[in-house]
Amino acid sequence: MSFKENDFLYIEYDLIDKEANKLVATTNEAKAKEANVYKKEMHYGKSLFIVGSEANLKGLNKEIKNLNLNESKDIILKPDEAFGDYDKNLIKVMHLSDFKSHDINPYPGMEVNIDNKIALIKAVNSGRVIVDFNNQLAGRELIFKIKITDFFNSDEDKIKALSEYENIKLKNIKIKENSCEISFGPEINKNESYFIKKQYLIDSIFKYLNIEKVNIIEEYEKQKKENNKNINNGDVQTKT
């Protein structure tokens, strides 16, 4: 089969810097640790891939449409199909005090988030910090070893996949015609991160599915207070 725009897939992959012959990213946790590219914040295992999404590398969007379910392929991506050419204009000089004021002690090789952009510290000297805003794989030719493991047909499965991608677990989904009802249980920590992820989930549903209305049901439970009382004879502790 061939895939089309907005198809939902799960993929497994190894991303290799062709020139250096080095693994730089993978969905396999054991491989990541062995190659010293493991990142604790990354979700390892099958990865959601929405065909045509601007979040994907341009070359992958083009190549993956001609693959089949359970098919594996090595895809070679030139820089213009991957992370673009290296741009010297994206190397900036910043004051060391800019980092110190945020309790950051920069060092060469350190990744930092500046104005929601990931940058790499290249050098620190004489109160100045050389910062590279290029993607670390800019200008590199890459080999993408990819396997398509799953294909989603139903809107329910697609919403579940989107929620897992945002790392917020759904309690229940009901879909009727062009509307859906989503419930989140009380076990989810409804902090600031949760509300941001929930909004991304809703935006993605409207963007990729034929859904025009989303109803959200949120459950909250009152936290029980524990009062401890010590009984002197035997020092027994009771909780109410």
Flag whether the pTM goes above 0.75: yes
Domain 153-220 class, CATH top level: alpha beta
pLDDT at 240 over 60: no
What would the mean pLDDT of 22-41 be, rounded to a whole number? 94
Written as one string, the DSSP assignment of 15-76 is EEETTTTEEEEES-HHHHHHTT---TTSPPSSEEEETT-TTS-HHHHHHHTT--TT-EEEEE
Q: Which residue has the tokens 């083009």?
A: 62
pLDDT at 122 over 60: yes
pLDDT at 62 over 80: yes
Q: What is the mean pLDDT of the chain?
A: 89
Whole-number pLDDT of residue 43: 84
Give the residue extent of every domain in the chain. Answer: 1-84+138-152, 88-132, 153-220
Whole-number pLDDT of residue 197: 92
Report whether 74 contacts 143 (CB < 8 A). yes
Whole-number pLDDT of residue 187: 84
Q: Cα separations (Å) of 47 from 19, 76, 163, 165, 167?
A: 25, 19, 13, 8, 12
pLDDT at 238 over 50: no
Whole-number pLDDT of residue 201: 94
Residue range 1-84+138-152 in CATH 3.10.50.40: yes
What DSSP state is assigned to residue 203? Answer: H
Strand order in the sheet with 117-125: 91-95, 128-132, 117-125, 111-114
Whole-number pLDDT of residue 228: 56
What would the mean pLDDT of 61-87 be, rounded to a whole number? 93
CA–CA dist 115, 95 (Å, integer): 15
| % of the chain surpassing 70 pLDDT | 93
Q: Which residues have a Cβ under 8 Å from the Cβ of 138 and sit 6 or more positions away?
A: 79, 83, 84, 85, 86, 87
Report whether 120 contacts 131 (CB < 8 A). yes
CA–CA dist 5, 65 (Å, integer): 8
pLDDT band at 145 (very low <50, low <70, confident <90, very high): very high
CATH number for the region 88-132 comes to 2.40.10.330
What would the mean pLDDT of 114-123 be, rounded to a whole number? 92
Whole-number pLDDT of residue 50: 95
CA–CA dist 109, 16 (Å, integer): 20
Report whether 156 contacts 175 (CB < 8 A). yes
Q: Which residue has the tokens 């917020």?
A: 168
Nearest to 19 by CA among 150, 140, 172, 175: 140
Whole-number pLDDT of residue 232: 52
